[in-house]
Structure formats: C-alpha cells, structure tokens
Structure 1
Amino acid sequence: MRDLRFRRSGPYVLLALTCVAGWAFKGHCGASWAADEQYLTGCYSDAVPFWGLRGVAAGQLPYIEAQMEYPVLTGMLIWLEGLITRLLAGTRADAADFLFVVSAVNAALAFAVLRMMDRASVPAIRRWCWAAAPPLILYLGHNWDMLAVALAVAAILAARRGEQASAAALAAIGTAAKLFPVLLLPLLGIAALAGRNRSWLGRFRAAGGLVLAAICFWAAVNLPIALRAFDNWAEFYTFSGQRVGTAASVWEIMAVQGWWNTDLATRNLWSFLIFAGGAGAIVALGWRRHRDHLWVLFTPVLAWFLLTNKVYSPQFDLWLFPFLLLTSRRLWPIAWFAAGDVLAYWAEFWFFASASGGGPGVTQAHIAAAAAFRAVPMLWVIVDAVRSPAADWVMIGGRKGGISAQGGGHQID
C-alpha cells in the first residue's frame, strides 16, 4: 500500500521540487539586472521588464490602457498576476514579486498537466518525465506559455476520449492564449470529414459543428477587446508578421551563414509555404495509420512548425515537450530533445552576452550547432509518427482492452 501511494504521489513531489528549482533559476537575479547577468546566468524573464513597461505595476488594463504583444487570454493572465502581486506585496511590490507570482501560476498549470496525465492513465514513466522536465526549470518563470500548453494538453486528451467538440473549444481557447494550439483544429476538422459510418451530410455537419465551436469560443475571448481597442488587440498579429526572426531559427541561421538571406516578405511567404507543404505531407503520409485518431499527428505537425518558423524562441521547446511525452513511441528522442533544448538555451543567451563583450565568446555557429543537435530528434519524431502505428496506450481501448503502460505490441520504452 505504501509503495502504491508513493507511485501515485511521487511525481507530484518531484514536480514540486522541479518548480522550486525553476523559480530559483529565474528569481536569483532579483528585480533588476546588471552587466548582462540575465544572459550569463540564464535568469532572463519577460516578467521583469513587463512589470514596468507594460503597465502591470500600475494596474493598467492590457489593450485598453496599455500595450500588450500577447494574445488576449495571456494578456488577461498577466493583468491578473499583476493584481495578485500588488495585493500580496502592497506598495513595496516589485518585479521580483511579480516573477514569483508568475512562476507560482505556471507551477499550478504544470500540476494541472500532470493531473490530466494521471487521470488519462499516461504511463508512470512519462509522468515522472514531466515532473522532472528540464524545460520546466528553464521556462517556468520565463513567460506565460504554460497557459496555452495546459489548454492544448486538455484539448489533445479530449480528442483522445472522443470528445471532439470539447477538443475544438479547448484548442480555440488555447489559441487565444498563444497561437500554436490552432494547429490541432484542422486535424479535428479533417477527421470529422473523414469519419466512418456517416453520410457525407453527417460528416459536413460534424465538421461544421467543430468549426462553429472553435469560432464561438475564440470570439468570446477576443471580440470584447477587439471591438473596443482593435489596434492594441491586433498588435500580437502585426508584431508576429513584422518580426524578422530569432537567432536559433533555421531562417536566421541560413541568413547568417549566407545560404539564403531574404527580405521579410519573402521570408514570411516561404516559411508559410514550407510549413504548410510539410504539414500536408505529414497528414497525407500518416493518413493510413492514423485516420481514426488524426489528433496524434499534432505532435509532428507542431515539431515541423517549430523547425520551419522564422521565430524559434527558447521557450517554444516547452510547447512540444508534453506532446512528445503523450504521443512519442520512444523515450530516447525525448531525452535527446531535452538535451538539445538545454544546449540551445545556453548557446543563445551566452551569444547575447558575448555580443557585448561579457560572455564566453559564443557565436552564431555555436547556436547553429545546438539547433541542429535539437532538430535531429524532432525530425525523427516526425518520420516515426507517419511511418509507425500509435502505441496502444495512446489509444482508447487498445488491444488489451484499456490503456496499457506496457504499450501492447508496440515499443514505447
């Protein structure tokens, strides 16, 4: 009995320790930075500049009274965390207090993900991996992407249960927090159109219902702000379109190396075309094996999006990690990906410090090497997802009549 209790509670205890480590990693620099310490020690967090530069300290409403380059749901979360900070710390509240609240809320979301994995009978080893996830240490206090991650995990698990309308609604709400959950919606729609044992009219009705659910839930979050302050609401989308790229994106690496240096409009066009073509190929090649559970292909589509997007910020790895745990057939590429994430994180931040003469001399070539190391397991996951059947434990009612921690006849490590 004691051993059973440990197996159930152990991941939660470990996750608590991981979250403490994540907060300490970002919080040790305090409310301000000096001499590039935010890059040299890795403690950079968006929460610190946002406290003063986005009206959080003053309690200004995002979009209405202050600019915000995040989607609406994330902007509202930032405002709420600022309110909590001011209530807890009073007039002495500063950026360090805000960072603590941001980390605490992200920790709660990380626990929510673990609880969802637990209730979905995800194999114990994978729950332990989430509890000890290196990306949680790196990004728990980095910014606010955990909100979209938790909503996307909820959407995937709803799709796994066959609750497609709930999955579409959750993915749409997640898109109001960060853009990447939108990648699940086409998969749900295509699956509805291809549903077995339905007339074409029934298929169109099912797909139309999913589209309607997604639009309604997304609009319910966005329209009140868009109608009142359209320009500020649209800043996230205009900002994303105007960004040239980040140091670890394949486009910036190619430009620096002189392989393909394009203007912004060309980069936007080709990054979209290459992603769309690759995503279409993933769905087409994975169709035979995954037609009845097309949501499984969200993981390789997301990996392809990260590889081809013009922006690859460090915390984007947090987007992919839980879905690797939920759908990847093997653990070794997940471990490889996590190691690549750590390498890319330090390469990018030490590169920023080196640019001002205070770092260890990291160059764009080091970033390219770390990004290439990280890309290998991502490409393996993409290829394996379209070539291999999903592990039995991923599916509802596998060959053993339920969710199997051993994966039935398929290797899942």
Structure 2
Amino acid sequence: MPPVSTTDRWRLRLLAARGNIAVVLLVLVVLSLILMWLGYLGKLDCGGAPYFADGRSEHWPVGKNELLMPCYSDLQFLWIGRDINNHVFPYIHGGITSDGVLYGGVVEYPVLSGLLMYFGAIGAHTDTQFFQHSALILLPFGILITVLLGLMTRWRALLWAATPPLILYSFHNWEMPVVATVVGAVAVMYFGAQESSRTGRRRIPFLTAAIIAAVLLSIGFSLKLYPGLFVVPLVAYVLTRGHGARSAGDWSIEQPDEAGLSGGLRGRMLSIRRAGLDWVGAAWVTGAAIVTVLAAQLPFMILGFEGWKAALSFQGKRRSDVDTNSIWYWGVRHLTDAADISYNSVVGIASPLLILASFVLVVYLGVRVWRTGEPYPWIGVSAAMLAGFMLFHKVHSPQYTLWILPFFVLLRVAWPIIVLYLLADLSLDLTIFRLFGIYTSGSPMKWWVMGGVQFGVWTHALLLAILVFAFVRAPVRMYVRKTVGPPGKVPDTVAV
C-alpha cells in the first residue's frame, strides 16, 4: 500500500471536519425546530375561532386549555390598538395623544420591527392569522442563529437550541431578527479572522469585517435599539487593532516608511500608528454605523416625522408598572406610592442615569483588560452593557432572555450562573402572566404565583449585577478551526 501523502492527509482531515460539523448542525437545527414548534403550539392555544368583529380570538389571552406554559404572546396582543389589523402602513400617518395612546399605524418599536409587523399582517384578518404569519417570518431568523452559534461554538450551542427560552419566547415577540443581527456581527468577525487555506491570510480583512459587523448592529438598532450599544466596544476594538496595549510599538501593520518624513502632522500620524491606535479605522466603523441607521430611519422621518417621533415618545412616557417586571416596580415602588408622581419621577431620572453609568463602567473595565496586554474584549463588554441595560431599565420583559442567551454560549460563564438564570427565567414566565390574570379578575392571590415572580425578578437582578463585571473578563468560548493546509500555518488563537 503506497504511503499517504501530506495532501491526502489534509483532504482526509478536511472531510472528517466537515462531517463532524454537519452532524453538530443537524442535531442543533432539529432540536431548535422541535422546541420552536412546541412554543408555536403553546402560543396558538390563545387563538382560533370564535372571533370578535375586530378579529380578536375569544380565547385570548388565557387560551382554550390549561397549559403549563401561558399562551399569551405580544404578537397577538399587537393585532389590536396599533392599526395592524387595519393594514395601515406604520408611522407615516400616525402620532401619539397627550395621554400616551398611539394611533394611525404607529407601533412602539423601531421602524424595522414595525415593517416586519406590517408584512406579517398582509393577508391576515384575525389575530391568529397574524400570529401564524409572524411566526413564519421569525422562524428563519431562529434557525440562522442556531446555525451561526453551532459553527462558532459547536455543542456549546445547545444552550440556545435545547433550553426552555426557545419554547417560551421564539414566537412571543419580535426578538429573533434583532438577536440574529448581534450573532451575525460576532460571526462576521469570527469567520473573517479565520486563516484562508488558499492565501494563508484572513478570510476577510480586519477593517472590512468590522464595518460589516457595525452595519449588522445598526440594523439591529433599528429593530430593538440595544445592538446599537455594541458599536461602542466594536469601535474600541478596531481602534486598538485587536491587540493588547503591551503590543504597542511592536506592530508593523501599515506603518509608512520613515524616510522623508518631517515633523508636524505626518510625524504625529506616525507616532499614533506606532502607538497601535487606528483612528481612521475607528472612524470608518463609526461612520458605517451612522449611515446605516440614517438609511433606515430617514425615510420615516421625512414621510411621517410625527409618527416616527411618537414611537420614541411612547417609550419615554411608559411607566414602570406591574407588566414591566423590573426592580423599580418590585423594589422602589414599595418605598412610595406607585401612583405617586415621586415614584415615576425617581424612575424616570434614576433609570437612565444608572444605565449610562453602567455603560461607562464596563467600557472602562474593558480598557483595563486591554492594558494588561489582552485584546479589547468587545464581545464581553457588549454582553456587560446589555446586562447593565437589562438590570436598570424600567422595562424587563421576560423575552429579553433571548437577548442575553447567545452571550452565555459565546463566553465562558460559570455554569451555576447560567443554570440559575434559566431557572429564574422559567419561574418568571410561568407565573407573571398568571399574576396579570389574577390582578385583572380580582381573584385571591396564590402564594406560588407571587413567589415565582419575586424569585424570577430578584434572581435575575442579582445575576445581572454579577454579569456586569463577569462578562468583561469572560474568555471567548469559540471553536478555533485549524487552518487547512501545510503544517506550520495553524494559528494558536483567533481574534474576533
């Protein structure tokens, strides 16, 4: 038998690697489809005939059967009251009344989410049809997230594809598209950093990958706002060229020839480059993010400024009530009367200030990591910013778990934190909607309902406070695909 050549060994390793990842992706996709299907069936229990004249199912919001999982979903809720049922194009003709009621097709979400809702309502005449159409729109985004996480983390992606949040929230609200933009941005940086087997270089140039990631995050901003926050740590990562501070002065990347350079501006530019700070690249990433946001927002601002502004005004006027599940309602409210103006004033001032302070803190903590010689941890800082936002914002909807779950997959977070977070999430979702029903009907409160809500809210708050710090230093937990090619070209790490 002739000896196996180096090329043949390389091809065999390639085929084995492709076979392994194919098995991983197949299992992940099948599991996620099963869980999303279960979630779809559970939410569908709130729909179906008979209907009222406006297309609202008489089974909404409690459902036909006594299911463990509450069937309430925001998808069906939004059918009435936002002119979605009247098929009015969003934002252009609407506004907001003095008492905070939206009209004329305005929805309280950024413009791209409003467009998706409008598309979901096409051909729908009942809330159940709208829910079904919306689920079809959301499904591909859920599968895309599963595939991307699987490619980056292999079996670790089971945390996304095989845990309760996928059942509870896949079709609860419009979370899947915005989560896909965040995971997509990380994936672009990850795959771009892989070494090409043909050229021996990055698959995507560093700055090009960062610009694409910024565009994706900005699209996410026009879906649910929070991904726009992540542009800040991404810019910091590009500014520092993806290297640690101790590497400054040792890099030769794009450094010009010193011959012929005099003092003044050109000399200062050379000094900046030697310091390892890429201001031009950071400006490109920032500009790409701004242009993308303007491209999404300007058409609505021009054609219907009042309707566009009404969506922002609604969020500004929104109070931290029982349906917001926040530390403000379940904590600060007990220090004063919830109906008192002082409570809403405190929340209106303290919430944004604490959110901003948490952002400044985690960006600074990222700088401290960078000063130790590590690359600026833009993924960890992004996750920490999200944790601060979720902790201090006056609204903490249960489905926000889908926002933070991919970071549990991508970063090395202690297992007890993840398990406890998911248990608290399950407790909150299974009780909060029953709490609403008890308040509405005036029925006696059940201890396990109130206990489940309190456990969920305060456990989440405690863990989010821990994660604000833990995320920043959490190592990236991604599969580093070895370069396919001759020995000696295998990178030890992959920078994202």
- TM-score of the pair, normalised by structure 2: 0.72
Are 2:327 and 2:458, in contact at CA under 8 Å, matched by a contact in 1?
A: no
Note the C-alpha offset of 1:5: 5.2
User: What is the DSSP-based 3-state SS (H/G/I as helix, E as strand, rest coil) of the residue aligned with 1:55?
Assistant: coil
Match of 1:284 in 2: 364
Match of 2:78 in 1: 50
Are 1:353 and 1:359, in contact at CA under 8 Å, matched by a contact in 2?
A: no
Q: Is 1:80 matched with 2:119?
A: yes
Q: Is 1:237 matched with 2:312?
A: yes
Question: Cα deviations across residues 51-99 of structure 1 (Å, max 9, x unaligned)?
Answer: 343333332211124222111100111111112x44xxxxxx4211211
The amino acid that maps onto 1:154 is: G
- TM-score of the pair, normalised by structure 1: 0.85
Q: Is 1:63 matched with 2:91?
A: yes
The amino acid that maps onto 1:170 is: L
Inter-CA distance 52–352: structure 2 relative to 1 (3 Å threshold)? closer
Q: Counterparts in 2 of 1:82-231, with a 5 A limit?
A: 82-83=121-122, 85-86=123-124, 93-119=125-151, 121-124=152-155, 126-160=156-190, 161=192, 162=206, 163-195=209-241, 197=251, 199=269, 200=272, 203-231=278-306
Are 1:286 and 1:385, in contact at CA under 8 Å, matched by a contact in 2?
A: no
Are 2:424 and 2:459, in contact at CA under 8 Å, matched by a contact in 1?
A: yes
Note the C-alpha offset of 1:178: 0.5
Question: Cα deviations across residues 209-232 of structure 1 (Å, max 9, x unaligned)?
Answer: 122111111111111011111111
Inter-CA distance 245–380: structure 2 relative to 1 (3 Å threshold)? same
User: Which runs of 5 or more residues in structure 2 are unaligned?
Assistant: 1-15, 49-56, 94-104, 193-205, 242-247, 256-268, 484-489
| Root mean square deviation of aligned Cα | 3.0
Match of 1:377 in 2: 463
Are 1:45 and 1:141, in contact at CA under 8 Å, matched by a contact in 2?
A: yes
Moved more, 54-63 or 11-20: 54-63
The amino acid that maps onto 1:256 is: R
Are 2:75 and 2:134, in contact at CA under 8 Å, matched by a contact in 1?
A: yes
User: What is the DSSP-based 3-state SS (H/G/I as helix, E as strand, rest coil) of the residue aligned with 1:226?
Assistant: helix
Match of 1:407 in 2: none
Which one has the bigger helix percentage?
1
Moved more, 196-205 or 73-82: 196-205
Structure 1 CA distance for aligned equivalents of residues 335 and 286 of structure 2: 43
Are 1:299 and 1:320, in contact at CA under 8 Å, matched by a contact in 2?
A: yes
Are 1:168 and 1:185, in contact at CA under 8 Å, matched by a contact in 2?
A: yes
Inter-CA distance 299–35: structure 2 relative to 1 (3 Å threshold)? closer
When Rg is computed on C-alpha atoms for both structures, the one with the higher figure is 2
Identity %: 24
Structure 1 CA distance for aligned equivalents of residues 399 and 162 of structure 2: 16
Moved more, 168-177 or 326-335: 326-335
User: Which runs of 5 or more residues in structure 1 are unaligned?
Assistant: 87-92, 405-413
Of 5, 25, 37 in structure 1, the residue corresponding to residue 62 of structure 2 is 37
Moved more, 7-16 or 31-40: 31-40
Note the C-alpha offset of 1:158: 2.6
Inter-CA distance 223–346: structure 2 relative to 1 (3 Å threshold)? same
Structure 2 CA distance for aligned equivalents of residues 4 and 243 of structure 1: 46
Are 1:19 and 1:140, in contact at CA under 8 Å, matched by a contact in 2?
A: yes
Structure 1 CA distance for aligned equivalents of residues 295 and 173 of structure 2: 24
Moved more, 41-50 or 3-12: 3-12
